[in-house]
Structure 1
Amino acid sequence: MFHRYRTTTNEKGTFDPNDTSRVKHTRYGVWDVYEDHSSRVSTMPGSWTLEKYAEMINCLPYIWRMLKDILAIPACTFLFITFCVTQAGVALVPALALWYQGQLLQIMQTAIDTRMVDKDHLFNICTGRIACSVALHLIRTTNEHLERRLEMHIRKWTDAHLFRARARLDVPTFETTSVKRQLEEVTADHEFTPPVPWATLQMLVGFVRAGTQVSAQVWVLAKALSAQHDGWLLAGLTMASKTLGWFADLGLLGGRPQVWAATTNNQDYLRIHGWARAMKDGVHRKEIVAANLGEYAVSECEAASERLGDADNAFKQWRMGSRRSHFDFWSLIQYPLNELPQIIFTLRAVQYPANMPVSLASMQMVREMANTFTWNIYELFMSTESFGDQLETVRKLYEVANVPNKVPDGTVPFPEDTAQIRTGFSLEFRNVSFKYPGAENYALRDVSFSVLPGQLCVIVGANGSGKSTILKLVVRLYDPDEGQILIGGHDIRTLKLRDLRQAISVLFQDYTHFPLSIRDNIAIGDPSAATNEAHVRLAARLGGAAEFIEKLSDGYDTYLDRPVRDFYAGIPEGTTTLFGRKVNYGNLRFAGKLKAADSSELSGGQMQRLAVARTFMRSVVPEEPKVGLLLFDEPSASLDPVAEHDLFNRLRELRGNKTMLFSSHRFGNLTRHADVILYMNDSVIVESGTHEQLLKQGAGYANIWNLQAQAFL
């Protein structure tokens, strides 16, 4: 029997594997397992099960909220009620079938005793028994249809709920490990994985169904046993034997601790799994082929596997809960109890030989009914055990929609005067210092500078000097640890986040492309003008992307990374394209029966031009200006010299009176026209001034300018 283990608990404090007073260390093969035995009541039999039930009570309000949300989905109310009715049928019909089986046995007993049979009664009982079988089949068929429709509606609601939850998270919050874990636990990545609310609903209904079935069977079992010789004794012994084994398996007779952790440092084990991941990840494929690493990887893994042997099996068995092969007190009791019903039947047959056929049928029915009853009890316990974990997942599903963002919103509208957009915004950093979350070193240290409205500021320096961080702080992806940032004379932390970001257009060095069409990737630069085809094409031309887009077979409808894969099966291996896309035989899906297609590929320079076009979409295309500050972070990093020269010229011509910050580690002709140049090194600004002023100083900026200029002499 497999056990479900939770990755975390609600207990306060920490788990320290090195604390030998609280944690037990055991080695299973290549794995080191650490178990915490200091739980509040962990030494009590069944204590962790009691703790789970206590946690379930705290999650019940979320279940009630989930049920209300499900019933609020259009068409779900009728489906849900009908689904509950069919589940009641699944619970009650088997109990009714058992009652008919007991009646048949009584008819047999009467026939032996009186040599007479009530044919009408026998016919009715047989008809009822057959009707139960037919009804159960029809109910289950109907139930399957209802389940498919309910899951479809609930899946749509869950997807929308999680989409809204993700969309509202800011960068520091989204990057927090606990938030990532919470999202992973409530997200169904695979299209065939049941969504959390549906899985919970199934479990909840299954729990109620099992309880109803047990209650009904208690009544039927009592009726049947009262009419059988030694019926209660046989049933009690049968249930006792099964119950001891199953309860021990559930951990109700002393389970393992809730808190445990395992790790391995075995180099052979790590090497095997490392190579396995490298073979699955396409990013390594070119190097594997080019360097003839395939045979080497195979030989390395085979040698490691030979040295490893079966060292991993012990840990797998421990995880599956099969470490109970040793002798214990409960097995001493369980196995004799299992044999007692047969012994008692034999003694009864010796005492009453004439009733042996009925006794045999009685014993078989009683044991069958007792086993069924005990199994339903076991399922009831199992459902409550896993239901506790499921309840916590529902709680996390709702809590993830209310995770507080780490960047607080301001209250001041911006800009106060829309005329500021036309003239550009002033920008000032006052003694700003910042560390990225989890980092030890400062990305910026005591940085101060000012840019007047309409000025062009170029930030130069080596990679990692802090240029990109300045732009990220301006749009409040993060807040500084020290100092103050002002835009238009306002502390940016006082401004409404939406207004601030609406007034700024930014292109980051680590730009991304969305799994949308090229048209949509450009258009989302300004959602309000997304349907204006002329604006989209103008932005593409200004970004230098129009020429290569028009050469693509699907033009602006081309998808860079299709969000929906093509599925196909059984096609000849010689087929290289399908639906106008390459066939990828390396990515087999669904046990090798279905396969997925490749996405369209563009060069790095072409991808960067699309990103620039998206920035132009909002910053220069609309007739009514919406942006007063342009931020460009290494926009020419992947461009050739000609494309870079053209881009710089367009930037100078099209920015108008807007304020612009431009970061680069390459000193192009844009620096010649800059009003302010900030030269950065090791997270600080070491020089500032115009191009001519910095060359006259003959320091860091001048040295790098001359070094780069010599490359073209």
Structure 2
Amino acid sequence: MARGAHRRKGGINTNRKGKFDPKDENQVKHTKIGKVWELYEERQPELAKIPFSARLNFERYLGLYDSLPFVWRMLKDIGSIRACWLYLGLYLAVQLALSLIPAVQLWYSGQLLTIVGTAIEQRTVDRQLLFRVASSRVACSIADLILQHLSKRISRPLNARIKQYYTVHMFNVMARLDVPTYDDPLVQRQLEQAFPSNSRQTVIWRTVVGVINMGSTAIMLLSQLSVLSTVLKNQQDGTLIALLSFSHSILSSNSDTQSLFTRVWAATTHNADFIKLSGLRKAVAEPAHRKEIVAGNMWEYMHSEYRRCINILGDDAAEFFDVYELFNQKRFPSFASIIRRPLQELPQIVFTLRAVQYPATIPLSLASLNLITSTANSFSHTLLRLFEQTGSISDNFATIQKMYEAINLSNRIPDGMVPYPENQRSLQMGMSIEFRNVSFKYPESKSYALRNVSFKIVKGQLCVILGQNGSGKSTVLKLIARLYDPLEGQILVDDQDIKTFKLADLRRAMAILFQEYTHFPLSIRENIALGDPGHSDDMDRITQAATLGGASEFIERLEEGYDTYLDRPVRDYYSGLPEGTMDLFGRAVSFGKIRGMGGMKSNESTTLSGGQMQRIALSRTFMRSSVSEPSVGLLLFDEPSASLDPTAEHDLFERLRLLRGQKTMIFSSHRFGNLTRNADMILYMHDSVIVEEGSHDALLKAGGEYARIWNLQAQAFL
């Protein structure tokens, strides 16, 4: 559906309210297109049967009033941008001048007709007038060229300033949203509509340009109409020819092939052979499947099945738009198409009748016919462009409303009011954490991630949470960091409800490494420095954190060291390279499937092992928390050694013990070892609940599940 919406101008209104339900036979028309495709079109109201009413799309205008407060806010924001009104005034003046040029040219064309008429009647030519008219038309053409150039020169800095201003708003929205809000599919859709990722222009600039263009188009129409009426006043049958030409142009613009793209529609297929054919085509085209296709000797079967599907489907083995075009060609022409043909010929017939009746006026009538038909065509196209522009304006106004609503989006996790902690130095002794009958489900999930979980970790304790994947270990850490709030129960920090504390203060007091650790599309130095952005220029501290994280050795071996990008955010584009070019700018060349067309990008990521990537993430955590810094009182580690070998894991735990000091530290892990032996408290989880709790020795004596798994792992090393 997206392809159809953007295939032509004047596509589907994405801001429209309501729901499109293909099962609703009263509102949706179903058409079978060949053997494969099924088309569902929204049934059109009676108003839509009026010629070219689809272009008007009256429903677009209903929401204009609601969007006006947001448009007013947009104008005030634009006014606050430096020198914006100056550029906007210049742009407006240029567009006004451009809108008047066609009328001026038309007036001079009328003057040429007058000269021709005088020459026929009096057999004389006013050479001075002819020179002035001709030179004036040339001057108009040159002025149009210069004004078009000025329009581009003015619009570029204006667009750039507006885009930069709203990019800051966009970045602020994207950066500040909490996890539940950002993960909401409705919010994601709202953000994409408000800040399209693939747009070179902001909706603000499109709206400004659209409003100005709509005004200039209206001025162009009025000025052309005024001049055309003056020209037709002295032309026999001129008004009749103009009306016939105008009617033909209007009917031509309302062609059947465009009607689909001005309505709400959807197309799908349930044809098993076509679905299989498409899957086979995709499988052989994607490099990810190549090794298995070759190693499994699958190509003969795949080729046989592809040929079978092609033979069954025949001409219908094509994408929707190709099949729909063929389907349209088989339909009988509409009434508008039938009547359009004689209308196209009528101006010539009127001219011929006039020439037979008055042979002496043939030169004048011929020039008049050419001027009137070309002007009528231009006028009708301009009129339809005005309709399209007004519809686009209403869409842009609605998108502006969505943009400002996105800017004002509230986070799902409410902020507290109480500063934390009262005494900053108290963090050196750690933080106490308590869960009281906490239950939690992730959004869109039906099963509990935690069920009635209760425990208490005293200040300065080392707690290890054990359990299989999916048992709820990581969820405990996410709730402590208030990435989510529990559905039931209460979480206490230092014996106070966690929800009462300011979020920024609370998270500032924690250093967290999640199992799904993140690497930012920045340099290694900046990836580590983000652990404590306030010390991002302190290279000594960055290298110290890398050493503690076990990453310094392999980072220093990299060609660019700490300035190496893990995933380079700027792509290299190139085309037309010789086949022997294997690398460019120090990165491997990937020609892709289409060579020499447009830009292509290189392989821009740095290849590091999973363990090395995890050490960089650990270094960021060490950057955040050190014994000498009292700003962190709680250290949370979610599977911190998952990608490390046993030696690296042992070294990591030794460094973490040094890092800890007297602070509270919570680990989640599925491994048993020295860490659990030294833990003050062990929480053993299974199926979202805590099944055992205590120290290592106490749990071994209890002889439960913890003791059983500990003994199993111990036997593996005997």
Q: Is TM > 0.5 for Structure 1 vs Structure 2?
A: yes
Cα separation, 1, equivalents of 2:556 and 2:430: 34
SS in structure 2 at match of 1:347? helix
Trace 1:381-392 onto structure 2 (pairs within 5 A).
Answer: 381-392=387-398
Question: Structure 1 pair 37/576, CA: closer, same or farther in 2 (3 Å)?
Answer: closer
More off after superposition, 309-318 vs 94-103: 309-318
CA contact (8 A) 1:539 1:616 kept: yes
- Letter of the 1:266 counterpart: N
Counterpart of 2:270 in structure 1 is 265
Q: Which structure 1 segments of 5+ residues have no match?
A: none
Unaligned stretches of 5+ in structure 2? 1-6
Taking structure 1 as reference, are residues 498 and 296 closer, same or farther at Cα in structure 2, changes over 3 Å only?
Answer: farther
1:275 Cα offset (Å): 5.5
Alignment deviations for residues 562-616 of structure 1 (CA, whole Å, 9 cap, x no partner):
0112234444333333333333333868825544243211000000011111111
Change (3 A) 1:535 1:574: same
Distance in 2 between residues matched to 1:553 and 1:481, nearest whole Å: 50
Q: Is the 8 A contact 2:587 2:602 kept in 1?
A: no
Quick one: which amino acid aligns to residue 639 of structure 2? E
Residue 56 (str. 1) matches residue 56 (str. 2):
no
- In the TM superposition, residue 176 of structure 1 has moved relative to its aligned partner by 0.9
AA in 1 matched with 2:192:
E
Structure 2 residue aligned with 1:702, among 703, 707, 714?
Answer: 707
Normalising by structure 1, we get a TM-score of 0.92
Deviations 1:327-375 (A, max 9, x none): 4443443333222211111111111111111111111111111111111
User: What letter corresponds to residue 671 of structure 1 in structure 2?
Assistant: T
For 1:154, give the aligned amino acid.
I
2: CA distance, partners of 1:93 / 1:31: 49
Aligned mates of 2:148, 2:121 — CA distance in 1: 40
TM-superposed CA distance for 1:188, in Å, is: 4.5
Q: Does 1:226 align with 2:218?
A: no
Please state if 1:664 is matched with 2:672.
no
Checking the alignment, whether the CA contact within 8 Å between 1:242 and 1:374 is kept in structure 2 is yes
Percent identical pairs in the alignment equals 51
**Are residues 497 and 38 of structure 1, via their aligned partners in 2, closer, same or farther at CA, if it must alter by over 3 Å?**
farther
Partners of 1:401 and 1:158 in 2: how far apart?
Answer: 10
Once the two structures are TM-superposed, the CA of residue 552 in structure 1 deviates from its matched residue by 0.9
Q: How many Å apart are 1:298 and its aligned residue?
A: 6.4
Q: In the alignment, is residue 178 of structure 1 matched against residue 183 of structure 2?
A: no
Q: Is the 8 A contact 2:510 2:632 kept in 1?
A: yes
Measure how far apart 1:61 and its partner are.
3.4
Q: Secondary structure at the match of 2:30?
A: strand
Does 1:633 find its partner at 2:659?
Answer: no
Letter in 1 for 2:706: Y
Tell me the distance in 1 between the aligned counterparts of 2:299 and 2:604.
23
**Which residue of the partner structure matches residue 375 of structure 1?**
381
Q: 1:391 to 1:314 in 2, by over 3 A?
A: same
1:356-414 Cα distance to aligned partner (Å, 9 max, x none): 11111111111111111111111111222333333322222222111221111111111
1:583 equivalenced with 2:589 (yes/no): yes
1:647 partner SS: helix
Q: Residue 533 of structure 2: which of 527, 532, 545 is its match?
A: 527
Q: Aligned pair in 2 of structure 1 residues 226, 249: CA closer, same or farther (>3 Å)?
A: farther
8 Å CA contact 1:42–1:257 kept in 2: the answer is no
CA distance in 2, matches of 1:276, 1:501: 49
- The correspondence for 1:415, drawn from 410, 417, 421, is 421
Change (3 A) 1:585 1:21: closer
| 1:199 is aligned to 2:206 | yes
Q: Give the TM-score of the pair, scaled to structure 2.
A: 0.91
Instruction: Kindly provide the amino acid, as one letter, of the partner of residue 655 in structure 1.
Output: R
Aligned to 2:249: 242
Which stretch shows the higher mean deviation, 32-41 or 232-241?
32-41
Name which of 550, 561, 570 aligns with 2:556. 550
Structure 1 residues 613 and 87: CA distance shift in structure 2, 3 A: same
Give 1:459's aligned residue: 465
How much does 1:207 deviate? 1.8
Contact 2:15 2:399 in 1 (8 A): no
Instruction: Work out the CA distance in 1 between the residues paired with 2:291 and 2:660.
Output: 42
Distance 1:573 1:241, change over 3 A: closer
Report the equivalent of 1:647: 652
SS in 2 for 1:626: coil
Q: CA deviation at 1:259?
A: 4.5
Q: Which amino acid aligns with 1:226?
A: K
How far apart are 1:291 and its partner, in Å?
5.4
Choose 549-558 or 576-585, whichever is displaced more: 576-585
Q: In the alignment, is the contact (CA less than 8 A) between 1:676 and 1:690 conserved in 2? A: yes
C-alpha distance in 2 between matches for 1:619 and 1:300: 60
Check 1:525–1:320 CA distance in 2 against 1; reply closer, same or farther (3 A cut): farther
The within-5 A match list for 1:18-97 is 18-29=23-34, 30-37=36-43, 46=53, 49-97=57-105
**Which residue of 2 is the match for residue 108 of structure 1?**
116
Contact kept, 8 Å, 2:625 with 2:659, in 1: the verdict is: no
Task: Give the Cα–Cα distance (whole angstroms) in 1 for the partners of residues 608 and 245 of structure 2.
Answer: 70
Residues in 2 aligned to 1:569 and 1:241: alpha-carbon distance in whole angstroms: 46
Distance 1:147 1:305 in 2: 51
- Using the TM superposition, give the Cα deviation of residue 699 of structure 1 relative to its aligned residue in structure 2, in angstroms: 1.6
Aligned residue pairs total 708
SS at 1:194 equivalent? coil
Aligned partners of 1:378, 1:83: CA distance in 2, in Å?
A: 23
Q: How does 1:480-499 map to 2 (within 5 A)?
A: 480-499=486-505
Structure 1 residues 181-580: aligned runs within 5 Å: 181-190=189-198, 193-247=200-254, 259-274=264-279, 304-305=309-310, 307-311=312-316, 312=318, 325-580=331-586
CA distance in 2, matches of 1:491, 1:531: 36
Is the partner of 1:86 in helix, strand or coil? Answer: helix
Tell me: CA distance 1:703–1:305, structure 2 relative to 1, closer, same or farther (3 Å).
farther
Looking at structure 2, the residues matched to 42 and 358 of structure 1 have their Cα atoms a distance apart, in angstroms, of 42
Would the alpha carbon gap of residues 328 and 222 (structure 1) be closer, same or farther in structure 2, given more than 3 Å must change? same
* TM superposition shift of 1:146: 2.3
Encode CA deviations 1:67-114: one digit per residue, 9 max, x unaligned. Answer: 443343224333222222221222111211111011101110011111
Counterparts in 2 of 1:671 and 1:528: CA distance versus 1, 3 Å: same
Q: Check the 8 A contact 2:467/2:685 in 1, yes or no.
A: yes
* 1:678 counterpart letter in structure 2: L
The CA deviation string for residues 10-46 of structure 1, in whole angstroms up to 9 with x for no partner, is 434x444333344333223433333444979878884
- The alpha-carbon distance between structure 1 residues 522 and 305, as it changes in their structure 2 partners (threshold 3 A), is farther
Alpha-carbon separation, structure 2, partners of 1:80 and 1:291: 64
Specify the SS of the correspondent of 1:240.
helix
Separation in 1, partners of 2:330, 2:90? 44
* Distance verdict in 2 for CA 1:387–1:268, change over 3 Å: farther
> What's the counterpart of residue 693 of structure 2?
688
**Relative to 1, partners in 2 of residues 1:273 and 1:179: Cα closer, same or farther, differing over 3 Å?**
farther
Cα distance change, pair 258–349 in 1 and its aligned pair in 2 (3 A): closer
Structure 1 residue 490, shift from structure 2 partner: 1.6
- Kept in 1, the 8 Å contact 2:33–2:323? The answer is no
CA distance in 2, matches of 1:477, 1:290: 45
C-alpha displacement at 1:256, in angstroms?
A: 8.8
> CA, structure 1 residues 555+305, in 2 after alignment: closer, same or farther (shift >3 Å)?
farther
Indicate which of 160, 164, 175 corresponds to 2:172: 164
Root mean square deviation, CA, Å: 2.9
Is the 2:575–2:597 contact (alpha carbons within 8 Å) kept by the matching residues of 1?
A: no
> Cα offset for 1:518?
0.5
Pick which of 158-167 and 46-55 moved more. Answer: 46-55
Instruction: Say which SS state the counterpart of residue 584 (structure 1) adopts.
Output: coil
Check whether the contact 1:672–1:691 (CA below 8 A) recurs between aligned residues. Answer: yes
Partner in structure 2 of residue 620 of structure 1: 626
- When residues 272 and 484 of structure 1 are mapped into structure 2, their CA distance, relative to the original with a 3 A threshold, is farther
CA 1:210–1:278 in structure 2 vs 1: closer, same or farther (change >3 Å)? farther
Does the CA-based 8 Å contact 1:587-1:595 persist in structure 2?
Answer: no
Residue type of the alignment partner of 2:604: D
Match of 2:4 in 1: none
